Amino acid sequence: MKKWKLFLIACLFPLILCSCSYSSSRGWSFSNSDSFEEEKERRRAVDRRTDRILKVGRIKDPARARREAKIEVFEEEVLRSVRP
């Protein structure tokens, strides 16, 4: 019986450890696939917006264009959450 408990703990510990993540702002938390998908979609939106800014020629510097795109995507998300 003791070996069984030890085996069970040895199997469950890696699963629990893999499902946790550490964030400097929030500390330890369980992974949330929804937030991961939202972050992935946000990165795609920033990439698309950056490409559009560079293509139009509004800003020539790629780093500055990316910063501007992040700001625009953030503003869009905030306005979308305020307006139904």
Q: With 70 as the cut, is the pLDDT of residue 63 above it?
A: yes
Alpha carbon distance 34, 55 (integer Å): 31
Q: What's the pLDDT tens digit per position in 32-47?
A: 556 777 888 899 999 9
Domain definitions of the chain by residue range: 1-31, 32-84
Alpha carbon distance 10, 15 (integer Å): 9
Alpha carbon distance 15, 31 (integer Å): 12
Record the pTM.
Answer: 0.58
